[in-house]
């Protein structure tokens, strides 16, 4: 234990301590040399001379060791620190030298290791972002290509065949318009995500009634719900009004996306229920339906852009494929939580928290 302790002390020694250690060893060797030469007999004057020589050699050895260590070793370490650190060691060159010389070699090793670890993490993050960028560009191009191709096909048919019956012409124009609307939805949703991510639109926090906002969203989605005879309801016992502090417009967009999603994937003659629960410092809002549900293997991915658990059914329902991703970005912008519970054939529940006003 004592040996290990001594080794740890030596490993953590600074440049001044290292120079002192070297000079002490050199001085002891010199002292032994002088004692050996003068072993035949000492006079008082020779002893004084020996002491003076010993002190002079010790000082010279210390200064020379410190200079060599500083110039050759810590000069290189300083260059390494200039590369690996993103902060200045001191306000001026003198302070920078002083701070560096107070660093022991163990600290330098630790700082270098942390720098390598940080760079590896940054490299992994860059690779992940590059992979995400490639996938994202591929998804965007694919999603935009489908409605564009459909619009082009319908319009090209109308241009090439002027003899089509008016009913069929009207049908083709209606389908082209439907695809143009879907294309516009994708562009609008991408714009919202860009504004949130880039900070182009700063969140405007204000206090408002979450129940009143939910009622507004119900009114907006009523026509879509009526086509499937879906009832939009507040859950009994969880319909109290709570004031929250958030960006009202972005929360409206998030709620609209969740309610619309529940209607699209809900059952005919089904329901969509919204509930509010008071927590210690937050309000939990949940949107539930009794629809087709989501498979367990898909749950970790439902908030990814353009992710579709059932691609064929999703395209039939329309939409941009970005609704849940927008909800995720809005909640992240508010520093709030977002979750989903679902079971196939039973239904889904999406929930998020908001700061209590």
Residues 235 and 317 placed together within one structural domain of the fold = yes
Give the domain-ending residue among 164, 198, 232: 198
Is the residue at 118 inside a domain? no
pLDDT for residue 71: 63
CA distance 56 to 63: 11
Residues 259 and 351 placed together within one structural domain of the fold = yes
Is the residue at 189 inside a domain? yes
Residues 346 and 209 placed together within one structural domain of the fold = yes
Cα pseudo-dihedral 266, 267, 268, 271, rounded to 10: -70
CA distance 93 to 78: 11
pLDDT for residue 52: 74
Cα pseudo-dihedral 294, 296, 298, 300, rounded to 10: 120
pLDDT for residue 35: 61
Residues 68 and 147 placed together within one structural domain of the fold = no
Residues 320 and 224 placed together within one structural domain of the fold = yes
Would you list the DSSP string of 267-279? PTT-EEEEEEEE-
- Digitized pLDDT (tens) for each residue of the chain, 357 residues in all: 444 444 454 455 555 666 666 667 766 666 666 666 555 454 444 667 666 766 777 777 777 777 766 666 666 666 666 666 655 545 454 444 445 555 555 666 677 778 778 878 888 877 777 766 666 666 667 677 778 888 888 888 888 887 888 888 888 888 888 888 888 877 877 777 777 777 666 788 999 999 999 999 999 999 989 999 999 999 988 888 899 999 998 999 999 999 998 998 888 899 999 999 998 889 999 999 998 888 888 888 888 776 666 554 444 555 557 778 888 989 988 999 999 998 888 899 999 999 998
Residue 145 sits in a domain whose CATH number is 1.10.287.130
Is the residue at 111 inside a domain? no
Residues 238 and 331 placed together within one structural domain of the fold = yes
Compute and round to an integer the Cα radius of gyration of the chain.
37
Q: Does residue 323 contact residue 260 with C-beta atoms inside 8 Å?
A: yes
Is the residue at 108 inside a domain? no
Strand 271-278 relative to strand 231-234, pairing: parallel
CA distance 180 to 183: 5
pLDDT for residue 237: 86
Is the residue at 116 inside a domain? no
Residues 270 and 221 placed together within one structural domain of the fold = yes
* Residue 192: closest CA among 342, 337, 352, 305: 305
Domain that holds residue 299: 205-356
Q: Does residue 33 contact residue 50 with C-beta atoms inside 8 Å?
A: no
Is the residue at 335 inside a domain? yes
Give the domain-ending residue among 151, 181, 198: 198
Residue 327 sits in a domain whose CATH number is 3.30.565.10
Residues 290 and 210 placed together within one structural domain of the fold = yes
Give the domain-ending residue among 198, 224, 240: 198
Residues 219 and 325 placed together within one structural domain of the fold = yes
Residues 64 and 15 placed together within one structural domain of the fold = yes
Counted domains in the chain: 3
Residues 349 and 314 placed together within one structural domain of the fold = yes
Angle at 7 between CA 6 and CA 11, to 5 degrees: 120
Is the residue at 120 inside a domain? no
pLDDT tens string 36-67: 655 545 444 466 766 676 677 777 777 777 77
Is the residue at 133 inside a domain? no
Residues 226 and 339 placed together within one structural domain of the fold = yes
pLDDT tens string 272-311: 999 999 988 899 999 999 988 888 888 888 887 766 665 5
The alpha helices in the chain, defined as continuous H runs, are 2-11, 15-37, 44-68, 75-84, 93-101, 105-160, 166-198, 210-227, 248-264, 311-317, 323-333
User: CA 162 → CA 153, 171, 213, 218, 278, distances in Å?
Assistant: 14, 14, 50, 44, 63
């Amino acid at each position: 234990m004592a040996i290990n302790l001594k080794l740890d002390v030596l490993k953590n020694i600074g440049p001044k301590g290292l120079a002192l250690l070297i000079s002490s060893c050199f001085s002891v060797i010199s002292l032994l040399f002088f004692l050996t030469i003068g072993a035949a007999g000492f006079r008082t004057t020779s002893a004084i001379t020996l002491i003076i020589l010993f002190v002079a050699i010790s000082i010279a050895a210390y200064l020379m060791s410190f200079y060599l260590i500083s110039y050759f070793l810590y000069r290189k370490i300083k260059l390494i620190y200039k590369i690996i650190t993103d902060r200045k060691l001191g306000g001026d060159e003198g302070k920078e030298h002083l701070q560096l010389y107070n660093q022991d070699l163990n600290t330098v090793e630790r700082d270098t290791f942390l720098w390598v670890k940080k760079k590896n993490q940054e490299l992994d993050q860059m690779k992940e972002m590059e992979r995400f960028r490639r996938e994202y560009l591929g998804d965007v191009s694919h999603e935009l290509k489908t409605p564009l191709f459909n619009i082009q096909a319908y319009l090209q048919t109308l241009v090439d065949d002027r003899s089509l019956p008016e009913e069929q012409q009207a049908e083709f124009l209606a389908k082209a318009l439907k695809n143009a609307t879907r294309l516009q939805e994708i562009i609008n949703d991408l714009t919202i995500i860009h504004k949130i991510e880039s900070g182009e639109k700063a969140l405007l926090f204000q206090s408002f009634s979450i129940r009143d906002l939910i009622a507004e969203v119900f009114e907006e989605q009523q026509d879509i719900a009526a086509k499937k005879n879906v009832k939009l309801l507040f859950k009994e016992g969880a319909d109290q009004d709570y004031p929250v502090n958030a960006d009202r417009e972005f929360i409206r967009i998030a709620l609209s996306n969740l309610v619309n999603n529940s209607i699209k994937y809900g059952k005919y003659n089904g329901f969509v229920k919204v509930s509010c629960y008071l927590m210690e410092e937050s309000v939990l809002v949940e949107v539930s339906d009794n629809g087709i549900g989501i498979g367990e293997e898909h749950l970790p991915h439902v908030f990814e852009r353009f992710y579709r658990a059932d691609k064929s059914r999703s395209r039939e329902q329309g939409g941009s494929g970005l609704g849940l991703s927008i909800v995720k970005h809005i909640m992240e912008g508010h520093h709030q939580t977002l979750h989903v519970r679902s079971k196939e054939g039973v239904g889904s529940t999406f929930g998020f928290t908001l700061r209590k006003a």
